[in-house]
């Protein structure tokens, strides 16, 4: 069976690597904290060691800085990946870094595929991720079995950096849904309605989508812990979305509002909350406590 590498065994990466093992791949892994390899995977000493023994290396790390370290740093995967090997970046990163990665891998005779995912950790565990992928056609074809082992479908774009634009656009839409639900439930609650019943009504009728039903329920019940996607990561993504908009001169005024909401929530010590907790700021603006009691 084909050897693949996986770097980054956090809340998303660990179940993804486990699913690759379950699919029959020979999986070599590296994580900043040792001892997190899923059963059946081989733990390596560095990203370079992972890459030296793998035809394809997937990365799922927190941010640009982490991906730069595991790719370009001492003992990074760029120095270990063979000519013709493929780096599949599955993290939510900046469009600028995606371009830099593509250029660096091309210069080294390697393939680069950008493949960020939509879905929370429970979706990763159940192989229910949606994968947005971009890159050279031959590299995308080589990754088809890997994607099939991780998700329920793919959305393909022409160029690797475009996949990162789609990911940032999607996260912006989800955050906008959360902010809207926060304002709407504050209005409903102050008007004497049960916000849970109101959101249940909308979730079952005109807004029957996964994004709305999942997050509107969290907002209505103010169940902001435990975090599936923590507030600091959401701030990172809204900042990246604004950077992408600035680059192409596409204003995103609602993204600016959401970034400020996230900053306000973090200033109030809500680092461990799920990003749906940004709705707590709309509640406070309406004179309500951040969470229902």
What residues act catalytically? 167
Nearest to 63 by CA among 89, 93, 33: 93
Nearest to 172 by CA among 65, 259, 273: 259
Residue 207, token pair as written in the block = 């807004």
Q: Terminus-to-terminus CA distance in the chain, angstroms?
A: 53
Q: Beta partners for 149?
A: none
Which residues, other chains included, contact 209 with Cβ-Cβ below 8 Å and sequence gap of 6+?
A: none
Q: Compute the C-alpha angle 77/229/29, nearest 5°.
A: 25
Nearest to 147 by CA among 119, 175, 170: 119
Residue 225, token pair as written in the block = 């812990």
117-118 and 111-114 strand pairing:
unpaired
272 SS3 class: coil
């Amino acid at each position: 069976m084909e050897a693949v590498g996986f770097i980054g065994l956090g809340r998303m990466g660990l179940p993804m690597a486990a699913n690759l093992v379950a699919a029959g791949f020979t999986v070599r892994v590296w994580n900043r904290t040792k001892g997190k390899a899923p059963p059946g995977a081989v733990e390596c000493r560095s990203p370079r060691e992972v890459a030296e023994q793998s035809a394809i290396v997937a990365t799922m790390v927190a941010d640009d800085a982490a991906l730069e370290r595991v790719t370009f740093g001492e003992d990074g995967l760029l120095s270990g990946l063979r000519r013709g090997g493929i780096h599949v970046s599955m993290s939510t990163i900046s469009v600028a870094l995606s371009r830099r990665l593509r250029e660096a891998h091309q210069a080294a005779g390697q393939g680069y595929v950008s493949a960020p995912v939509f879905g929370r950790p429970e979706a990763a565990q159940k192989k229910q991720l949606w994968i947005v992928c971009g890159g050279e056609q031959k590299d995308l074809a080589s990754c088809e079995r890997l994607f099939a082992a991780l998700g329920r479908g793919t959305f393909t774009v022409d160029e690797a950096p475009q996949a990162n634009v789609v990911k940032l656009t999607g996260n912006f839409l989800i955050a906008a849904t959360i902010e809207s639900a926060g304002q709407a439930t504050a209005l409903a609650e102050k008007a004497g309605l049960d916000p849970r019943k109101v959101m249940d009504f909308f979730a079952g009728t005109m807004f029957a989508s996964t994004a709305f039903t999942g997050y509107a329920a969290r907002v209505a019940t103010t169940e902001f812990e435990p975090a599936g996607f923590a507030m600091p990561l959401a701030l990172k993504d809204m900042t990246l979305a604004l950077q992408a908009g600035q680059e192409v001169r596409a204003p995103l005024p609602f993204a600016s509002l959401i970034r400020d909401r996230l900053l306000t929530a973090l200033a109030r010590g809500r680092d461990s909350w799920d990003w749906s907790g940004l709705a707590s700021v709309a509640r406070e603006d309406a004179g309500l406590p951040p969470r229902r009691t």
